Structures are given as structure tokens and as C-alpha cells.
């Protein structure tokens, strides 16, 4: 059986393919996949899913390996083996708000996709917050008066800047990570060893 690798669709998929190709793996079938969600190459079977679902497929052993953002691992804490960072998908987690905003003295309202990370962050600071869960375009929330601020990913800072927001605190750094199903690592050790090694060594 070919190793099964679950890839996070979208931004990380593109960056993974360019990294994988730099390691001399054949990526042509993946680049030409169109809307297909499962693709086989000579060596591997790939599946394409949203980040949190990548961890689910790996946790349940449908995929042996997965490529997922460190933010997803921090937020959902799936039961998978977190092997090592990959050299792309670099971003930070930050609290941001409108330029010149004065935070309320008591309870702040924070909008985020990352409710668990947000809860832990403010708990550790001993600050009381109400968290509003959003699924994306989180930068809208302070502008429209839904929240006092946001907790979200920042890379270049362009999205914040173009929406009149500024970082008030950066508190975590992430990159994409290679994860593995815990039992596949033992049972399929021989089949997985070469690709794991190459993905790790490619970074040196």
C-alpha cells in the first residue's frame, strides 16, 4: 500500500507542492488535479481537505501523514504525532484592534476563528473576555463594532493595515507541520521512513 498523505487545501497545498517538487518528487499529477480530492502518484496517495479535517483523517488512520498549520494543532490539539516543522506557512498569532482604540477596562469582546487559543491567552493574562467565533474575514469585526479586537493570523500585516487595524500583541509563531498517525508510524515504519527523512532533510 502506498503511503497516504493528507494535505491542507489552498495556501499550504501550493507551498507544499513547491517544496515537494524541490525534493525531486513528481508533483505533476497534483498540479493538474482540477477539483479532484484524491490523487495518486507513482509513490503516494494524496487527499485534500481543510486543516482541521486533515488532522481528523490522520488521527483516524485514513491518512498516514498530514501537512497542517501549527495553528490548527494548537487550537484543536488532535491526537496525532507532531513530527517536525516544514519550511513554509510561516505566520504569527496576534491580538489586533483599530488604530487608537482604547480597550474597555473590564470585559473585552474578542472575535476569532481560534476560540481555544484566544481563551487560553486571556486566561493566562488574567483578563476577562467574551469570545465571538467567526469563520473568516475576522478583521471586519472591530470595524463593524462586533468586537473590541481580534485574535488572528498575521503574516505580512497587509490585511490588518488595509482594514485600519494594528497589532497590539503578538504571542505565538507557527509554520506548517508534518504530522503522522501514531500507529502508522510503527506499523508502516519502512514505507514511511524515506519520505519523512526527505521532508526533514530538505530543510537543511
Ligand X SMILES: O=P(O)(O)OC[C@H]1O[C@H](OP(=O)(O)OP(=O)(O)O)[C@H](O)[C@@H]1O
Ligand Y SMILES: Nc1ncnc2c1ncn2[C@@H]1O[C@H](COP(=O)(O)OP(=O)(O)OP(=O)(O)O)[C@@H](O)[C@H]1O
Binding site for ligand X (CB under 6 A): 136-139, 152-159
157 interacts with, out of ligand Y, ligand X, none, CB within 5 to 8 A per kind: ligand X
Q: Counting contacts by CB under 6 A, is residue 78 touching ligand Y?
A: no
Least distance (Å) between residue 127 CB and ligand Y? 25
Residue 22 or 137: the one with the smaller Cβ distance to ligand X is 137
For the beta sheet containing 4-8, the strands, ordered from the edge strand earlier in sequence to the opposite edge, are 38-40, 45-49, 4-8, 65-69, 176-180, 81-85
- Residue of 173, 154, 204 lying closest to 70 (CA atoms): 173
152 interacts with, out of ligand X, ligand Y, none, CB within 5 to 8 A per kind: ligand X
Helix (H) or strand (E) holding 160: helix 158-162
69 interacts with, out of ligand Y, ligand X, none, CB within 5 to 8 A per kind: ligand Y
**What is the C-alpha separation between 45 and 64, in angstroms, rounded?**
10
Least distance (Å) between residue 55 CB and ligand Y? 11
**What is the C-alpha separation between 68 and 59, in angstroms, rounded?**
13
**Residue 136 φ then ψ, to 5°:** 170, 180
137 interacts with, out of ligand Y, ligand X, none, CB within 5 to 8 A per kind: ligand X
Least distance (Å) between residue 106 CB and ligand Y? 31
- Residue 109 neighbours by CB under 8 Å, 6+ apart: 129, 130, 131, 132, 146, 147, 148, 149
Residue of 3, 66, 78, 89 interacting with ligand Y (CB under 6 A): 89
**What is the C-alpha separation between 99 and 96, in angstroms, rounded?**
9
Residue 11 or 119: the one with the smaller Cβ distance to ligand X is 11
Helices and strands per DSSP (H, E), number in the chain:
9, 11
Q: Counting contacts by CB under 6 A, is residue 155 touching ligand Y?
A: yes
Least distance (Å) between residue 139 CB and ligand X? 6
Which one of the spans 33-41, 67-75, 121-129, 160-168 is the region binding ligand Y (CB under 6 A)? 67-75
Residue of 50, 123, 197, 198 interacting with ligand Y (CB under 6 A): 50
> CA–CA distance from 74 to each of 28, 71, 90, 162, 198 (Å)?
32, 5, 14, 27, 25
Residues near ligand Y, by CB under 6 A: 8, 10-12, 50-51, 69, 71-72, 89, 91, 136, 153, 155, 174
Amino acid at each position: 500500500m502506498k503511503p497516504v498523505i493528507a494535505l491542507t487545501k489552498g495556501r499550504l497545498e501550493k507551498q507544499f507542492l513547491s517544496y515537494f517538487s524541490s525534493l525531486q518528487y513528481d508533483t505533476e499529477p497534483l498540479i493538474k488535479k482540477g477539483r479532484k480530492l484524491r490523487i495518486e502518484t507513482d509513490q503516494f496517495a494524496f487527499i485534500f481537505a481543510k486543516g482541521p479535517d486533515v488532522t481528523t483523517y490522520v488521527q483516524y488512520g485514513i491518512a498516514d501523514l498530514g501537512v497542517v498549520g501549527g495553528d490548527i494543532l494548537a487550537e484543536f490539539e488532535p491526537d496525532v504525532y507532531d513530527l517536525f516543522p516544514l519550511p513554509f506557512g510561516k505566520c504569527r498569532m496576534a491580538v489586533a484592534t483599530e488604530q487608537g482604540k482604547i480597550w474597555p477596562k473590564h470585559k473585552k469582546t474578542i472575535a476569532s476563528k481560534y476560540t481555544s487559543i484566544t481563551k487560553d491567552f486571556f486566561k493566562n493574562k488574567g483578563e476577562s473576555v467574551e469570545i465571538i467565533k467567526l469563520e473568516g474575514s475576522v478583521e471586519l469585526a472591530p470595524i463593524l463594532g462586533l468586537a473590541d479586537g481580534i485574535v488572528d493570523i498575521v503574516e505580512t500585516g497587509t490585511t490588518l493595515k488595509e482594514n485600519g487595524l494594528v497589532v497590539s500583541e503578538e504571542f505565538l509563531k507557527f509554520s506548517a507541520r508534518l504530522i503522522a498517525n501514531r500507529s502508522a508510524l510503527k506499523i508502516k515504519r519502512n514505507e514511511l521512513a524515506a519520505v519523512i527523512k526527505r521532508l526533514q532533510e530538505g530543510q537543511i
